[in-house]
Amino acid sequence: MELDPRGQRFAATVTTVVLIVVLATGWGWLALAQAVVFAITAADPRRGPYASVYRALVLPRIGPPAEREPAAPVRFAQLVGFVFLAVAAIGYLSGVPALGVTFAAFGLLAAFLNAAFGLCVGCEIYLAARRFAARPIGS
C-alpha cells in the first residue's frame, strides 16, 4: 500500500489540535476517541477518519501527490500513538491525571513534530533500535 504523504501531515495537524484540547481540558473521553482513531488508522490507513476528511475536503483542492510513501512506517507510528493515547485515556478516566497529562504530552510532541517539521519520531528510533537489537552476544 502506498499513501499520499500530505495526508499524513494533515492527520498529524488534526491530531495536534485534538491533543491540545485534551491537555487543556483534561477530557479523557476525547483522549479515548483519539486512541480509537489511531487504532483504526493503524489497521487500515485509507479508512482512517482523518484520512477520509483529507480525501473529501483537502485532496480535491490540491490535486494528486507527486510522490507516495509506503504505509508500513505510518502504520507503526499510528500504533505507537494508539498505545500512548490509550494509556493517557486510562489515566484521565481512572482518576490518575498525571498519567493522562504525561502520555498525552508525549503524543502531542510527536504529532507536533510531524505536523510542523515533517519529522517522524518513530522512524528515527527504528535504526538506533536495530543497532542494539542485532548486537552479538558477549560484545
Partner 1 sequence: MDSVGLLAIAAVLVIGVVVGLWRRHTDGRFRPVRQVSGRIQVTGSAGEQSAVTGSAGERTPMTGSAAEQAAMDDSAVGERLDPAVLTALGVAPAEATLLQFSSAFCAPCRALRRVSTEVAAMVPGVQHIEVDAESHLDAVRALNIWRTPTLLVLDARGRVTKRSTGVPTKPQLIAALGDVLTA
Q: Which stretch binds partner 1 (CB under 8 A): 35-43, 54-62, 78-86, 109-117?
A: 109-117
Determine the interface stretch with partner 1 among 36-44, 53-61, 78-86, 126-134 (rule: CB under 8 A): 126-134
Q: Residue 56 or 98: which CB sits closer to partner 1?
A: 98
DSSP 54-66: IIIIIHHHH-S-S
Q: Which of 60, 64, 95, 131 binds partner 1 (CB under 8 A)?
A: 131
User: Are 45 and 1 contacting, i.e. CB atoms less than 8 angstroms apart?
Assistant: yes
Count residues binding partner 1 (CB under 8 A). Answer: 37
DSSP one-letter code for 95: T
Which runs of consecutive H residues, i.e. helices, occur in 1-139? 5-25, 28-43, 49-53, 59-62, 71-93, 97-117, 121-133
Under the rule (CB under 8 A), what is the footprint of partner 1?
A: 5, 20, 22-26, 67, 69-70, 72-73, 97-98, 101-102, 104-105, 108-109, 112-113, 116-117, 119, 123-124, 126-128, 130-131, 134-136, 138-139
